[in-house]
């Protein structure tokens, strides 16, 4: 008996279902002629049929439509029948005046089903086939009703009453919200899911307003998503658990799907406002269903995203204590012995990733090592694959100073084999291991995100044979853009897996709610317009179309691949490609991504604006982004703002401000060794540049030197290249060209081995400037160098770089004795005009003044006094602006 009632819980009679039944009765009244009363045409009748079909399909969703909504949708169905339908529906409801009527109603429902034995259906009667969708629905309803106990019968009746009263009330009180009038108990009942609706609405709102997950988080969070989604699919088949929420019964499938959606939402909107609202909702859910342990996991996720360490830890441990990692994490059918031991290794994995996120890399490493060991002991290969991926992610993200004693202390077969290798090599090995396992286990999402990690690795690290000895060992010291591209492409294969296997992959509960959302979309506009009956068909297929929906975690990974593309193009030096990929990301994956990824995309676009369009546009864009992301935890917007302000201050010559911002920037970084390395490097790089601008050469050189040492210690190769360039720059400005040359050359060779084309072009420019600094007899060589780099600089360089190149070119020509201004003035003037325009956008007073000065000189030589005066006036303006830095910072506020 117990088993029987349990299975009944999978489909419960609710007021909404009763109203669908009423409509079905209207659609197919028993013993009626071909076209029942209110309908004037067959197509009209069919339209109701299609609508009912979609309603029955959506009824496995978490949310149930309210009567009000149903009536609204009926209204949108158009036609003259809607009034009649609505009235009939409400009448039917009012006629259900006692539980007994309900019993009679369901007895009548039997009548609209065709008899089982009659094989051929008579043409002129509308009879629901037993095995049709609608017929099945009616049968399920009848069965569910028959299984109800006496008490539940009462409850349904009460709910019915409530629904009806609500409706009446609404009619009576007009615009006044009925919530105020109905007692709380009724309110709870009438709302499909009492507590969700406000959150739901809000979620929708945020979905529209928000975009995206941090690069750092990327791989780990997508793993979560993978773990959770696949899990619920398999667990829901076995379990027939149900949860009571305000007396409605929901299937496990619905609940799991719903919770997954919530998990996605948490990731997508990591701000504190959202977090507190979802927290209160989760608390309520937990009160209602204390045995639904997934709620603890969601609370953990929520706390994780709102940076509450203790609460996150507490909830994580609680979840694994209760569920032994088996609820919602069944990635693979439990192999022998697993059930006995639980899946606590997944707990370790999650704990490790949590420590990582909270900036405890060493703790994280210890925990992950334990995870590796336990998964090996319990031969949980899936978890092992994930753990290795998480480990490699951790190792590559955190700066580890010494290569020894990180993994050496802990015992672990996989990791200890690599104890003699450098961190980079270990990351590589871990990734390879993880990829191999994921491949054999067919963990598609993990494979994809591993490919992405691999792409990142290839991007940042010089390919070097792991063990190089003997004369035949290849000595290629270069990164390989092709392999980066290959990896990114491999990761994008994921989406094709999903579009082809959709039928198999999407058994998770979230799909049934997709149905409802899709229902809402077409219904919001009058789809079933009267004139075209052919369009009905197309909308119907639109419904079916959504069966092939791509899970959110998949589109997240695909989205991340675009972000990585953008990053790699940034590094390789193609601004348009970087911008394009970021835009693709923001437009296509914006709504399915986590907030930190979205933020990253915004960041990239704003940086692009600052470099190529000047500060005005960048600050305007920043303002928009600020509104969107400042509430997000660990927001990088502040960082970006400081960066922009610093650049701006440097260009305008406001060095005090620049210094202050520099200090603020340094203050953002964590004090722990090896954490926030990017930020720390950035801060001291900017400090050196500020010092350079203040003409304190030896101090600037000292800072740059120690920065270089740090970069070397933490293996930050790309940063090394730019630090070397800065050193060359410092020596150039100090007038010590000979000292600068080796730095410039070293920087160029670094750029070459990492394929950093744009940086290389800018290093070449510096090199050229250094040559010229050695004396005007080197002008020719300098000019040649510059012209070699010109295509790259003009094609992809930012405003500043281009202007510098133009001015330098003009300088070279002007100092060349063989160059005659009078005959070839346009060559010089064009460059200078271009340079001064671009620099004015940047408000780079010093360089603008230089360009204008040169222009004035040229005009003077050419004997064009008017233009000369104009240039001179502008020159004066910029010089005064430089000398008296205005502290008016409209954008600082």
| Contact track, other proteins, 450-479, x by CB under 8 A | ------------------------------
How many Cβ atoms sit within 10 Å of the Cβ of residue 857? 17
Measured distance CA(350)–CA(348) in Å, rounded = 5
576 binds other proteins, rule: CB under 8 A: no
- Contacts with other proteins in 475-534 (CB under 8 A)? none
CB closer to other proteins, 131 vs 287: 287
417 binds other proteins, rule: CB under 8 A: no
DSSP state of 244: E
CB closer to other proteins, 239 vs 837: 239
- Binding segment for other proteins (CB under 8 A), chosen from 313-321, 618-626, 712-720, 793-801, is 313-321
Measured distance CA(257)–CA(277) in Å, rounded = 20
- Binding segment for other proteins (CB under 8 A), chosen from 364-372, 553-561, 722-730, 747-755, is 364-372
DSSP state of 128: B
197 binds other proteins, rule: CB under 8 A: no
Measured distance CA(489)–CA(329) in Å, rounded = 28
Binding footprint of other proteins, residue count (CB under 8 A): 41
Measured distance CA(311)–CA(315) in Å, rounded = 6
Q: Which residues on adjacent β-strands are paired with residue 248?
A: 245
156 binds other proteins, rule: CB under 8 A: no
Compute the least distance from the CB of residue 387 to other proteins, in Å: 13
- Contacts with other proteins in 249-278 (CB under 8 A)? 249
Measured distance CA(74)–CA(78) in Å, rounded = 7
Measured distance CA(846)–CA(878) in Å, rounded = 7
Which one among 80, 100, 129, 244 touches other proteins, defined by CB under 8 A? 244
Which one among 341, 464, 486, 877 touches other proteins, defined by CB under 8 A? 341
Which one among 50, 136, 168, 243 touches other proteins, defined by CB under 8 A? 243
Measured distance CA(846)–CA(865) in Å, rounded = 23
Give the angle subtended at the CA of 25 by the CAs of 22 and 28, to the nearest 5°: 150
Asked if 621 and 606 touch (Cβ cutoff 8 Å), the reply is: yes
- Binding segment for other proteins (CB under 8 A), chosen from 115-123, 406-414, 554-562, 638-646, is 406-414
Measured distance CA(283)–CA(295) in Å, rounded = 8
309 binds other proteins, rule: CB under 8 A: no
CB closer to other proteins, 290 vs 526: 290
149 binds other proteins, rule: CB under 8 A: yes
673 binds other proteins, rule: CB under 8 A: no
CB closer to other proteins, 26 vs 249: 249
Compute the least distance from the CB of residue 670 to other proteins, in Å: 23
328 binds other proteins, rule: CB under 8 A: no
CB closer to other proteins, 50 vs 313: 313
How many Cβ atoms sit within 10 Å of the Cβ of residue 68? 14
CB closer to other proteins, 285 vs 688: 285
Asked if 362 and 410 touch (Cβ cutoff 8 Å), the reply is: no
Which one among 84, 200, 322, 819 touches other proteins, defined by CB under 8 A? 322
CB closer to other proteins, 413 vs 471: 413
Which one among 151, 826, 866, 883 touches other proteins, defined by CB under 8 A? 151
**Cα distances (angstroms) measured from residue 588 to each of 125, 543, 559, 580, 653:** 49, 21, 8, 12, 40
Compute the least distance from the CB of residue 386 to other proteins, in Å: 17
Which one among 1, 4, 120, 340 touches other proteins, defined by CB under 8 A? 340
CB closer to other proteins, 362 vs 736: 362
Measured distance CA(629)–CA(577) in Å, rounded = 25
DSSP state of 547: G
Measured distance CA(41)–CA(48) in Å, rounded = 11
317 binds other proteins, rule: CB under 8 A: yes
Residues 6+ apart with CB under 8 A from 788: 764
CB closer to other proteins, 285 vs 763: 285
Measured distance CA(21)–CA(137) in Å, rounded = 9
237 binds other proteins, rule: CB under 8 A: no
- Binding segment for other proteins (CB under 8 A), chosen from 167-175, 321-329, 555-563, 876-884, is 321-329
348 binds other proteins, rule: CB under 8 A: yes
| Rounded (10°) angle between helices 845-862 and 821-842 | 160
Asked if 653 and 885 touch (Cβ cutoff 8 Å), the reply is: yes
- For 602, the 3-state DSSP assignment is helix
Which one among 26, 141, 324, 657 touches other proteins, defined by CB under 8 A? 324
- Binding segment for other proteins (CB under 8 A), chosen from 260-268, 362-370, 515-523, 643-651, is 362-370
539 binds other proteins, rule: CB under 8 A: no
CB closer to other proteins, 316 vs 832: 316
6 binds other proteins, rule: CB under 8 A: yes
246 binds other proteins, rule: CB under 8 A: yes
Compute the least distance from the CB of residue 247 to other proteins, in Å: 7
Which of these, 775, 788, 779, 704, lies nearest to 738 by C-alpha position?
A: 775
409 binds other proteins, rule: CB under 8 A: yes
Residue 604, burial from CB neighbour count under 10 angstroms (0-12, 13-18, 19+)? buried
Residues 6+ apart with CB under 8 A from 606: 618, 621, 622, 625, 640, 644
Measured distance CA(800)–CA(793) in Å, rounded = 10
795 binds other proteins, rule: CB under 8 A: no
How many Cβ atoms sit within 10 Å of the Cβ of residue 362? 15
Compute the least distance from the CB of residue 159 to other proteins, in Å: 14
- Binding segment for other proteins (CB under 8 A), chosen from 36-44, 403-411, 545-553, 825-833, is 403-411
Which one among 47, 262, 269, 373 touches other proteins, defined by CB under 8 A? 373
321 binds other proteins, rule: CB under 8 A: yes
| Kind plus residue range of the DSSP H or E element containing 250 | strand 248-251
247 binds other proteins, rule: CB under 8 A: yes
Which one among 29, 38, 334, 342 touches other proteins, defined by CB under 8 A? 342
Compute the least distance from the CB of residue 239 to other proteins, in Å: 9
Determine phi and psi for 694, rounding to 5 degrees.
-85, 5
291 binds other proteins, rule: CB under 8 A: yes
Compute the least distance from the CB of residue 326 to other proteins, in Å: 8
How many Cβ atoms sit within 10 Å of the Cβ of residue 117? 5
Measured distance CA(828)–CA(856) in Å, rounded = 12
| Kind plus residue range of the DSSP H or E element containing 378 | none
- For 113, the 3-state DSSP assignment is strand
Residue 406, burial from CB neighbour count under 10 angstroms (0-12, 13-18, 19+)? buried
**Cα distances (angstroms) measured from residue 75 to each of 42, 89, 536, 647:** 18, 12, 17, 59
242 binds other proteins, rule: CB under 8 A: yes
Which one among 171, 377, 440, 663 touches other proteins, defined by CB under 8 A? 377
Can you give the length of the chain in residues?
Answer: 893
287 binds other proteins, rule: CB under 8 A: yes
**Cα distances (angstroms) measured from residue 68 to each of 304, 325, 429:** 38, 41, 59
Q: 3-state secondary structure string, 186-227? A: HHHHHCCCCCHHHHHHHHHHHHHHCCCCCHHHHHHHHHHHHH
CB closer to other proteins, 369 vs 553: 369
- Binding segment for other proteins (CB under 8 A), chosen from 341-349, 507-515, 536-544, 824-832, is 341-349
- Binding segment for other proteins (CB under 8 A), chosen from 289-297, 542-550, 645-653, 735-743, is 289-297
- The binding site for other proteins (CB under 8 A) comprises 6, 9, 149, 151, 241-247, 249, 287-292, 313, 317-318, 321-322, 324, 340-342, 344-345, 347-348, 351, 366-367, 370, 373-374, 377, 409-411
């Amino acid at each position: 008996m117990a088993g029987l009632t349990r299975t009944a819980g999978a489909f419960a009679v609710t007021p909404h279902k009763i109203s669908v039944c009423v409509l079905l009765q209207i659609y197919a009244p028993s013993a009626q002629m071909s076209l029942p009363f209110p309908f004037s045409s067959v197509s009209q009748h069919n339209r109701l049929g299609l609508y009912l079909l979609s309603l029955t399909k959506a009824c496995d969703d978490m949310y149930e439509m309210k009567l009000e909504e149903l009536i609204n949708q009926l209204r949108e169905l158009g036609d003259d029948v809607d009034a009649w339908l609505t009235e009939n529906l409400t009448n039917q409801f009012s006629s259900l005046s006692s539980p007994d009527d309900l019993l009679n109603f369901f007895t009548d429902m039997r009548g609209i089903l065709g008899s089982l034995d009659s094989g051929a259906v008579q043409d002129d009667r509308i009879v629901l086939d037993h095995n049709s969708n609608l017929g099945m629905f009616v049968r399920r309803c009848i069965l569910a009703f028959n299984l109800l106990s006496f008490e539940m019968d009462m409850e349904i009746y009460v709910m019915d009453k409530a629904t009806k009263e609500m409706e009446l009330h609404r009619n009576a009180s007009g615009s006044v919200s009925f919530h105020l009038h109905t007692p709380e108990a009724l309110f709870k009942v009438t709302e499909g899911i009492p507590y969700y609706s406000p959150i739901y609405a809000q979620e929708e709102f945020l979905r529209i307003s928000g975009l995206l997950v941090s690069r750092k988080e990327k791989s780990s969070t997508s793993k979560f998503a993978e773990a959770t989604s696949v899990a619920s699919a398999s667990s829901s088949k076995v379990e027939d658990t149900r949860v009571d929420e305000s007396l409605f019964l929901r299937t496990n499938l619905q609940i799991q799907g719903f919770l997954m959606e919530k998990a996605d939402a948490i990731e997508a909107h990591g701000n504190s406002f959202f977090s507190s609202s979802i927290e209160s909702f989760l608390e309520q859910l937990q009160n209602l269903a204390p045995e639904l342990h997934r709620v603890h996991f969601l609370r953990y996720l929520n706390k994780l995203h709102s940076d509450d360490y203790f609460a996150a830890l507490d909830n994580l441990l609680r979840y694994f204590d209760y569920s032994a990692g088996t609820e919602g994490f069944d990635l693979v059918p439990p192999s022998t012995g697993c059930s006995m031991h639980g899946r606590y290794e997944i707990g370790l994995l999650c704990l490790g990733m949590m420590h990582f996120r909270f900036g405890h890399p060493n703790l994280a490493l210890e925990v992950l090592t334990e995870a590796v060991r336990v998964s090996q002991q319990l031969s949980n290969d899936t978890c092992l694959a994930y753990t290795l991926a998480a480990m490699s992610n951790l190792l590559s993200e955190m700066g580890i100073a010494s290569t020894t004693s990180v993994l050496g202390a802990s015992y672990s077969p996989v990791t200890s084999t690599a104890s003699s290798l450098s961190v980079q090599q270990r990351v590589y090995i871990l990734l390879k291991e993880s990829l191999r396992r994921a491949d054999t286990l067919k963990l598609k999402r993990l494979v994809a995100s591993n490919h992405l990690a691999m792409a990142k690795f290839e991007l940042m690290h010089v390919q070097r044979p792991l063990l190089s000895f003997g004369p035949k060992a290849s000595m290629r010291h270069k990164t390989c853009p092709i392999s980066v591209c290959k990896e990114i492409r491999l990761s994008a294969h994921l989406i094709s897996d999903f579009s082809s296997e959709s039928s198999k992959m999407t058994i998770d509960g979230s799909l049934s709610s997709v149905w409802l959302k899709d229902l809402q979309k077409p219904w919001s506009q009058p789809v079933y317009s009267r004139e075209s009956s052919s369009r009905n068909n197309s909308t119907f297929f639109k419904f079916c179309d959504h069966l092939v929906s791509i899970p959110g975690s998949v589109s997240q990974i695909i989205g991340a691949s675009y972000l990585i593309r953008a990053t790699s193009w940034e590094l390789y030096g193609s601004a348009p490609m970087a911008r394009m990929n970021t835009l693709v990301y923001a437009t296509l994956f914006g709504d399915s991504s986590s907030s930190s990824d979205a933020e990253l995309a915004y960041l990239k676009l704003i940086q692009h604006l600052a470099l190529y369009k000047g500060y005005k546009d960048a600050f305007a864009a920043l303002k928009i982004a600020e509104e969107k992301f400042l509430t997000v935890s660990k927001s990088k917007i502040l960082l970006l703002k400081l960066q922009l302000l610093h650049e701006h201050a440097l260009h305008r010559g406001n060095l005090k401000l620049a210094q202050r911002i520099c200090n603020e920037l340094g203050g953002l970084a964590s004090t722990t060794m090896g954490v926030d390395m990017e930020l720390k490097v950035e801060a001291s790089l900017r400090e050196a540049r500020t010092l350079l601008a203040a003409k304190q050469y030896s101090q600037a050189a000292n800072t740059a030197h120690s920065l270089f040492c740090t970069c070397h210690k933490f293996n930050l190769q790309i940063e090394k290249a730019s630090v070397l360039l800065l050193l060359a720059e410092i020596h150039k400005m100090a007038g010590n060209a000979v000292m600068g040359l080796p730095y410039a050359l070293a920087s160029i060779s670094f750029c070459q081995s990492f394929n950093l084309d744009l940086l290389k072009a800018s290093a070449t420019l510096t090199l050229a400037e250094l040559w010229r600094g050695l004396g005007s007899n080197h002008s020719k060589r300098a000019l040649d160098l510059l012209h070699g780099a010109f295509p790259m600089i003009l094609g992809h360089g930012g405003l500043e770089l281009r202007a510098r190149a133009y001015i330098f070119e003009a300088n070279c020509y002007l100092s060349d004795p063989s160059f005659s201004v009078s005959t070839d003035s346009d060559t010089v003037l064009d460059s200078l005009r271009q340079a001064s325009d671009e620099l004015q956008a940047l408000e780079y007073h010093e360089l603008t003044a230089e360009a204008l000065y040169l222009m004035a000189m040229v005009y003077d030589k050419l004997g064009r006094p008017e233009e000369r005066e104009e240039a001179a006036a502008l020159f004066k303006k910029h010089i005064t602006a430089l000398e008296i830095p205005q502290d008016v910072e409209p954008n600082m506020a």
